[in-house]
């Protein structure tokens, strides 16, 4: 399991110069690699290494630069131009961290930077430190530590684990950035208007109409759920895992109390289960607590959400709030935190809210 923890650092002139030089070096490597159609760092090395050293970059950073440039050229459709740069550091060759002091390689030897580790991140500093990044964002500088913890159950897992977050406006959002049923939002508004018109009339005829319409809407939602579950499952193969939130205790979770559509979500889960079972895909449920509040990158709950967007105040991570939720759901399973209720059948029609939707 990997975790990235960005920590704001104070930099001196040497570090600023190192970043600037690294940026120039990276652009040079990219230009050469692009011009010569080289995509492999071993091949590129003899053409640029001496230039980088002459520019003043230390050996380890030159090597990092060459590697990074090939990675970028490989993905690019045209000669890449660098605006922002992240320097890759490897422990112990180009950086080390001891007693809250970071020691990083610069153009003039190692520079020591004292660091204050935020409380939420303390536990990760017991893990193994892997390749980490020095980045600049406007006038702020971050050192993003990457930590690794071997978790046997997760590393044995070669299959895909897909987190699925259920919501009102986007019916399902996956940890792999797919949205389903976004068109429902506007239809639901129309339905609400229609229903309240009929309700305000209060005549016998309008009540009859209301009842009939409620059936129409429920059939439409079932059809929608059928399609959504079908497309989610069609993306997966035998052995993969779908992770969703366990909604059986939804009454205790504020977020779901608003849902007058509970049955629709339960129905969608049961459709997903049903289709998953027939393809040998596992369905697992995790505890829904804080899945929308927690940052999927650093797991801090010091976060804000506004108009569908999620932002972490601790690490600066920002993304669609439902994707954040879906990723948390998937990660919860990966971390073996699931209160495993595997393939439990869901009682669809027991909910008395059916006629009210
Ligand atoms: Zn965060």
> Residue 336 Cα, ligand 1 centroid: separation in angstroms?
21
For 46-66, write each residue's pLDDT tens digit: 999 999 999 999 999 999 999
> Residue 150 Cα, ligand 1 centroid: separation in angstroms?
22
> Residue 128 Cα, ligand 1 centroid: separation in angstroms?
20
pLDDT at 355 over 50: no
Three-state SS string over the chain comes to: CEEEEEEEECCCHHHHHHHHHHHHHHHHHHHHHHHHCCCCHHHHHHHHHHHHHHHCCCHHHHHHHHHHHHHHHHHCCCCCCCCCCEEEECCCCCEEEECCEEEEEEECEEEEEECCCCHHHHHHHHCEEEEEEEEEECCEEEEEEEEECCCHHHHCCCCCEEEEEECCCCCEEECCCCEECCCHHHHHHHHHHHHHHHHHHCCHHHHHHHHHHHHHHHHHHHHHHHHHHHHHHHCCCCCCEEEEECCCCHHHCHHHHCCCCHHHHHHHHHHHHHHHHHHCCEEEEECCCCCCCCCCCCCCCCEEEECCEEEECCCCCEEEHHHHHHHHHHHHHHCCCCCCCCCCCCCCCCCHHHHHC
Which candidate, 71, 101, 91, places its Cα nearest to that of 132?
91
Torsion of CA 68, 102, 303, 85, to 10 degrees: -30
Over range 207-213, report the average pLDDT. 89
> Residue 100 Cα, ligand 1 centroid: separation in angstroms?
20
> Residue 251 Cα, ligand 1 centroid: separation in angstroms?
28
> Residue 353 Cα, ligand 1 centroid: separation in angstroms?
37
For residue 85, the cross-strand partners are none
If you average pLDDT over every residue of the chain, what do you get? 85
pLDDT computed for residue 347 by the predictor? 36
> Residue 300 Cα, ligand 1 centroid: separation in angstroms?
5
> Residue 283 Cα, ligand 1 centroid: separation in angstroms?
27
> Residue 212 Cα, ligand 1 centroid: separation in angstroms?
48
> Residue 303 Cα, ligand 1 centroid: separation in angstroms?
8
For 338-354, write each residue's pLDDT tens digit: 334 344 333 333 333 23
pLDDT at 154 over 50: no
> Residue 299 Cα, ligand 1 centroid: separation in angstroms?
6
> Residue 343 Cα, ligand 1 centroid: separation in angstroms?
32
pLDDT computed for residue 243 by the predictor? 94
> Residue 161 Cα, ligand 1 centroid: separation in angstroms?
21
Using pLDDT thresholds of 50, 70 and 90, give the confidence band for residue 155: very low
Q: How many whole angstroms separate alpha carbon 292 and alpha carbon 301?
A: 9
pLDDT computed for residue 242 by the predictor? 95
> Residue 188 Cα, ligand 1 centroid: separation in angstroms?
33
For 97-126, write each residue's pLDDT tens digit: 988 999 999 999 999 999 988 888 888 888
Over range 300-308, report the average pLDDT. 90
> Residue 146 Cα, ligand 1 centroid: separation in angstroms?
13
> Residue 118 Cα, ligand 1 centroid: separation in angstroms?
11
For 268-291, write each residue's pLDDT tens digit: 999 999 999 888 899 999 888 889
For 166-201, write each residue's pLDDT tens digit: 987 788 999 999 999 988 888 988 988 998 998 898
pLDDT computed for residue 338 by the predictor? 37
Query: Could you tell me how far CA 74 lies from the centroid of its own chain?
Result: 24
Task: Write down the pTM of the prediction.
Answer: 0.55
> Residue 333 Cα, ligand 1 centroid: separation in angstroms?
19
> Residue 226 Cα, ligand 1 centroid: separation in angstroms?
35
> Residue 329 Cα, ligand 1 centroid: separation in angstroms?
16
pLDDT computed for residue 61 by the predictor? 93
pLDDT computed for residue 263 by the predictor? 75
pLDDT at 257 over 70: no
> Residue 265 Cα, ligand 1 centroid: separation in angstroms?
28
pLDDT computed for residue 157 by the predictor? 52
pLDDT at 255 over 80: no
**Does 257 or 135 have the greater pLDDT score?**
135
Which candidate, 282, 278, 290, places its Cα nearest to that of 327?
290
Using pLDDT thresholds of 50, 70 and 90, give the confidence band for residue 151: low
pLDDT computed for residue 342 by the predictor? 41
> Residue 318 Cα, ligand 1 centroid: separation in angstroms?
8
pLDDT computed for residue 167 by the predictor? 82
> Residue 121 Cα, ligand 1 centroid: separation in angstroms?
10
pLDDT computed for residue 122 by the predictor? 86
pLDDT computed for residue 268 by the predictor? 93
> Residue 320 Cα, ligand 1 centroid: separation in angstroms?
13
pLDDT computed for residue 335 by the predictor? 77
Q: Among residues of the chain, what percentage have pLDDT more than 90?
A: 49
């Amino acid at each position: 399991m990997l975790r990235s923890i960005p920590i704001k650092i104070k930099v001196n002139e040497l570090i600023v110069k190192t970043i600037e030089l690294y940026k120039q070096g990276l652009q040079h490597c990219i230009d050469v690699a692009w011009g010569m159609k080289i995509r492999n760092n071993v091949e590129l090395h003899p053409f640029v290494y001496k230039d980088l050293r002459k520019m003043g970059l230390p050996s380890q950073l030159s090597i990092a630069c060459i590697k990074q440039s090939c990675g970028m050229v490989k993905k690019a459709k045209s000669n890449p131009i660098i605006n922002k740069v992240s320097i890759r550091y490897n422990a112990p060759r180009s950086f080390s961290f001891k007693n809250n002091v970071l020691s990083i390689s610069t153009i003039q030897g190692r520079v020591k930077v004292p660091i204050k580790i935020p409380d939420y991140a303390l536990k990760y500093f017991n893990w193994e430190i892997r390749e980490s990044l020095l980045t600049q964002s406007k006038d702020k500088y971050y050192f993003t530590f990457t930590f690794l913890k071997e978790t046997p159950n997760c590393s044995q897992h070669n299959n895909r684990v897909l987190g699925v977050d259920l919501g009102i406006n986007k019916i399902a959002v996956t940890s792999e950035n797919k949205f389903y049923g976004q068109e429902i939002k506007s239809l639901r508004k129309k339905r609400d208007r229609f229903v309240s018109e009929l309700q305000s009339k209060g005549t016998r005829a309008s009540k009859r109409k209301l009842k009939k319409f409620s059936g129409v809407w429920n059939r439409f939602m079932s059809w929608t759920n059928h399609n959504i579950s079908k497309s989610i499952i069609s993306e997966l193969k035998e052995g993969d895992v779908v992770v969703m939130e366990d909604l059986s205790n939804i009454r205790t979770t504020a977020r779901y109390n608003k849902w007058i559509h509970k049955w629709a979500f339960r129905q969608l889960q049961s459709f997903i289960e049903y289709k998953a079972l027939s393809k040998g895909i596992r369905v697992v449920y995790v505890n829904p607590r804080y899945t929308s509040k927690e940052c999927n990158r650093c797991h801090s709950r010091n976060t804000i959400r506004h108009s569908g967007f999620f932002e972490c105040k601790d690490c600066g991570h920002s993304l669609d709030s439902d994707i954040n939720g879906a990723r948390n759901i998937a990660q919860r399973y990966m971390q073996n935190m699931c209160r495993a209720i595997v393939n439990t059948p869901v009682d669809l029609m027991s909910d008395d809210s059916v006629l009210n939707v």
